[in-house]
Structure 1
């Protein structure tokens, strides 16, 4: 297993190197001039020339790329054209918010989705199966921004049960150590801050987790339905084994491989930033940051963000592949 992980990590190097080339060219193919976007109405030929010289945009493209790679190898992702803040510093400030939201949405999708999919497969053709499948279909086709606005309207504006925006109320005097607000509150034992952060998480996590939940329900139902028709399940049932034992040892364990793959893909999507959800709820995360960077032609932010997300996807895929070996010993042996 260790050798497999090291081999996969080594393969990430040429993949990320190739991505950096494509990314560098693609970002500069976006219509618009970053210098003009930065200066706005104050743009003058002298100002544009000064910005281009400061950020090296007047150099040949090949020279710009090698300067960029040299900075990357030293751990420098550059500075934002819009804010002049180091990209790494911005990520460390905003990425915890996206991870906190993404983890909560993923936890909701997994904890609710797998049991629902299992029960739908166990009761195929019955009313509960129809209700669960219909609900998952509605969850898949409902746009995230529409659901987010609806949840905000009903549960925040009309009922007043949850806050409408931000990660925490400004009047909460909370100590932020890691920028994971719930974790920070637990570490500092500021329980009012923990509760406040959790209440802010509910609506955006439900909006963001609905589509992954619906997908996990459908994949789990299909996988469990296939396993239920296997001979070894019927044999276990004929031996009179308890349903809980059959479900745990024979059904769920053999049905989990496609479900784990789906969870890994959904985790990558959630951690890459939920632009619409973060925008609706004014959530200080990576998704909103990226949206603003695209509008401002902020090359260093776009390049650093996409490379960082590519690395996260690669690590999540590695984790999923290693989880296969834990779930199914046949995969581990092969």
Structure 2
């Protein structure tokens, strides 16, 4: 198990290094003038030339890559040409909001998808199965921005039940400040017993989390259904049926255990998809996070910020894959022997 973990960790480091280099090269290939953005639209040619020297843009590309990789290892991800702040500081300030939305969406997706897949497998070929499959197809196919606008129109504009945008009411959060424990605002409010802030943060998070959860719920439901139907022919499942166990117990107690490894593996892919998918969601809901930061960076040709967001998303995805690999190895010791 230790050798397997070390091997997977080493591979993740190599992939991360490749992501850094590739992202840097792609960003430099974009026709833009970071020095001009940094200096401002009214800067003279001499000022832009001075900024190019200060930012190291006058050096060869290989030297820039080496300097950037060394800086990343030191925690220096460069300066944003739009905010004039360290990119890593900007990302760390915005990451909790995005991570909170992604984790909430995944939690809702699992909470809906696993029972739905179980119901579909239990009543295979009947009305509940058809309903789950149709709902999963619709949930996976509906465009993210359209679903976000639909939920905004229904629950915020028409019914007035939930906020239409933002991550929290400034007046509520000013009167009931959240003490940082984990870095996730809603979880911190719950852990510290800050009921007013928790309720407000939950109201603002609910609609974005439901939008993020739509695709994971559909994929998990279909995977659980397929895995349970495949497991129905396993000898120990047939043995459980022959011993008189009810079908609910056969699926829930025996067959469902065989689905956890595939579901864990799928969660890493879903995490990466949900993390990128939040960029559109944050734009629609005016939710402060990495998505809005990335969109503004692209609009202003802020190359260091674009590279930083891409690198952070890649690192989070690699970390999720590594965690899933280690969890699978813990559940199935045979994996660690490969």
Tell me what 1:212 maps to: 216
Q: Matched residues in 2 for 1:109 and 1:45: separation?
A: 53
Q: Matched residues in 1 for 2:55 and 2:109: separation?
A: 43
Change in 2 beyond 3 A, CA 1:46/1:289: same
Tell me what 1:175 maps to: 178
- CA offset at residue 16 of structure 1? 2.0
Tell me what 1:12 maps to: 12
Tell me what 1:196 maps to: 200
- CA offset at residue 323 of structure 1? 2.2
Q: Matched residues in 2 for 1:41 and 1:265: separation?
A: 41
Q: Matched residues in 2 for 1:272 and 1:203: separation?
A: 17
Contact 2:77 2:88 in 1 (8 A): yes
Q: Matched residues in 2 for 1:91 and 1:268: separation?
A: 17
Q: Matched residues in 1 for 2:250 and 2:31: separation?
A: 58
Tell me what 2:23 maps to: 23
Q: Matched residues in 2 for 1:273 and 1:52: separation?
A: 34
SS at match of 1:161: coil
Tell me what 1:159 maps to: 159
Gaps of 5+ in 1: none
- How big is each residue's C-alpha offset from its partner over 1:69-91, in whole Å with a ceiling of 9 and x where there is no partner? 22222221111111011112111
- How big is each residue's C-alpha offset from its partner over 1:258-313, in whole Å with a ceiling of 9 and x where there is no partner? 22211121112223461110000011111111111122222222222222222222
SS at match of 1:171: helix
Tell me what 1:63 maps to: 63
Contact 1:121 1:224 in 2 (8 A): yes
Q: Matched residues in 2 for 1:291 and 1:181: separation?
A: 23
Once the two structures are superposed, the pairs formed by residues 42-191 of structure 1 within 5 Å of their partners are 42-172=42-172, 173=174, 174-177=177-180, 179-191=183-195
Tell me what 2:255 maps to: 251
What TM-score does the superposition give when structure 2 sets the normalisation length?
0.92
Contact 1:110 1:213 in 2 (8 A): yes
